[in-house]
Chains A and B, each alone.
Chain A
């Protein structure tokens, strides 16, 4: 095919500051302001380009990934592509019927039954009634809600609700599909199911624009990607290159500051000031699976006295709040007899055993046996995908929570094959 399915040129979006939050005003207020300012020049509000001069094209049938930090302009670009908001500059040409999925369950209403919501949501997503009717059984089967299809969705469990919502969305069959973080909801099994469905859609020759924080998913689905940063396109090319650029380019931002946090417990003998991550190359904000990482905790004692007998702990949780692992200085065999009143301690993990994904950290510190500081959800940790096993392979989505080094051997009862020495040692 000669013509690209998506062709974007100089796309930009400008917001006036203040338009981002609480941008609506009160009519009465506006009128009084206008009255007062008659004869005076109108104050111009500062501007901000959420997206600037972005060019890209996607050939028909390709799955194209868009990655970048929060605030890089991904969502703005998606909103423009899906026509929710118009661009300020530039032009986008889309060849083929477009379906945009910025959210699952748009327009779902609690009082309506599963059946009613399927039709309503389908229509909202731009499906024809006949089309929905044709796919109805398939959607219900995908969502596994056969028995509850005539029950109001307010009685559904979260899982059922999400499956139904995604089920409708997944059966949208446009020629160009625009997908946002839909996969970041739900449990792992559900995510895997969605990902499988997405892969199939991509395999059917549709053009897909895929935006996600889930780098594994992007890598799996998209041969080519684009990296956005601060509203501009930084790189476009093979996904592996773009991801490595993304991971290394973000060594930037300072560690998460904790000085403003009020929701903390403990005596206050010392307080955590910040938490950050370092690799051999320096500050990073996205450690890589299987690579070495230092968790750097900056602390400060308000009264300036040295700290005696300190213990530090870092708990790593999933976004759903399950504890995955805890690192604790005394248990690991390190005693901090005396520490200066302010400084840094670091916990070095030689090979990060966490698969790619998002986690949260809890910080905990004691001094002379008393809890000095305890900050829950102190920081978010995004782990980028890496080759933990050195095999170039990874566990299927949904089958990994912590990775552990391992070796495999044939069974012991095979007589003519000597058992490797290491194995005997281990069995002893």
Chain B
């Protein structure tokens, strides 16, 4: 080690001032960007641990939606005969389950993320948003794998996709925003109130029934559609189905409602998170 080993990659004149916090903090984007490598490594850690600890490894990302699709097809498709827009029910359910599982898993893991890494919070400084976001990003990898499987099943069932596929990224971003917002809000809430985590499974369960996973959104008509679309998952799932299965496109008005709802949700979640994060280390 030479005496000149001080890092030359960073500018010499960095000055940092530590002060009592202000009442309102911004999003902290610049700082988040500075810590992008940490986000990368934490996401990688999630994936490594998830795949190392399960006997199925990466195929877990595939098996889970397939298992759900199978069960749903059996009970809701065969027995309850839920209408599926003329699409074979298994692939109809799978198209809903793939985005749904991404959001559900991201939210439940993010909600736990801060408390689970409590020792990090009390020992090291980094933007705390990195923790819930790393969970969401790790499930994004699962989502990509699951989407490939969906594409495969679309082929097997000989369903024809539509131009809606071009809008797929938009709907996925909407899903990521929704998952991140709900996940970080619940995560921060769980630091202060440790019983939040007990309610999360119930919340996710209810949310499942409020989203068109098992059934089609076309069951809801007229002005109700817009109220229904306040749940951004409605547009996300209908958007994915539109692209992959060629079902009718989600109404533009509904998508706008969803986008606005998700943005407001994200804003509120970030606001709450940033307000409470500075005291995480004191109360956790």
Contacts and interface: CB of A to CB of B under 8 A. Distances in A.
A294 to B, nearest CB: 40
Interface string A166-208: 0000000111000000000000000000000000100111100
Contacts of B278: 85-86
Contact of A88 (B16, B20, B124, B126): B20
Nearest to B16: A94
A91 B19 contact: yes
Nearest to B50: A111
A129 B194 contact: no
A87 B52 CA distance: 41
Interface string B73-91: 0000000000000000000
A30 B122 contact: no
A79 B53 CA distance: 34
B158 interface: no
Contacts of A124: 38, 41, 120, 124, 126
A24 to B, nearest CB: 5
B274 to A, nearest CB: 12
B254 to A, nearest CB: 32
Contact of A123 (B12, B41, B52, B199): B41
Given A24-B283, A116-B48, A87 B20 contact: yes
Contacts of A120: 41-42, 44-45
B279 A85 contact: yes
Contacts of A92: 17-18
Interface in A365-384: none
Contacts of A26: 193-195
A24 B124 contact: no
Contacts of B284: 24
Contacts of A128: 9, 37
A216 B6 CA distance: 27
Contacts of B196: 27
Interface in B115-161: 117, 119-126
Interface residues of A, number: 58
Interface in B17-76: 17-21, 37-38, 40-42, 44-45, 48-49, 52-53
Contacts of A93: 15-18
B205 interface: no
Contacts, number: 148
Which has the most chain A C-beta neighbours within 10 Å: B191, B199, B281, B283? B283
Which has the most chain B C-beta neighbours within 10 Å: A15, A85, A173? A85
Contact of B124 (A30, A97, A100, A205): A100
A86 B44 CA distance: 30
B54 to A, nearest CB: 11
Contact of B37 (A27, A85, A129, A173): A129
A96 B14 contact: yes
A97 B15 contact: no
B121 A84 contact: yes
Interface in B253-284: 278-279, 281-284
Interface in A127-142: 128-131, 138
Nearest to A104: B123
A100 B49 CA distance: 27
A93 B195 CA distance: 39
Nearest to A28: B195
B17 A23 contact: no
A58 interface: no
A111 B282 contact: no
Contacts of A173: 5-7
A428 interface: no
Given A100-B125, A124-B120, A173-B5, A25 B15 contact: no
A128 B41 CA distance: 11
Contacts of B193: 24-27, 30
16 contacts: A24-B193, A24-B283, A79-B122, A82-B124, A84-B281, A89-B20, A91-B18, A92-B17, A103-B119, A103-B124, A109-B49, A175-B6, A200-B1, A203-B3, A204-B1, A205-B6
Interface of A: 15, 19, 23-30, 79-98, 100, 102-103, 106-107, 109, 111-112, 116, 119-120, 123-126, 128-131, 138, 173-175, 200, 203-206
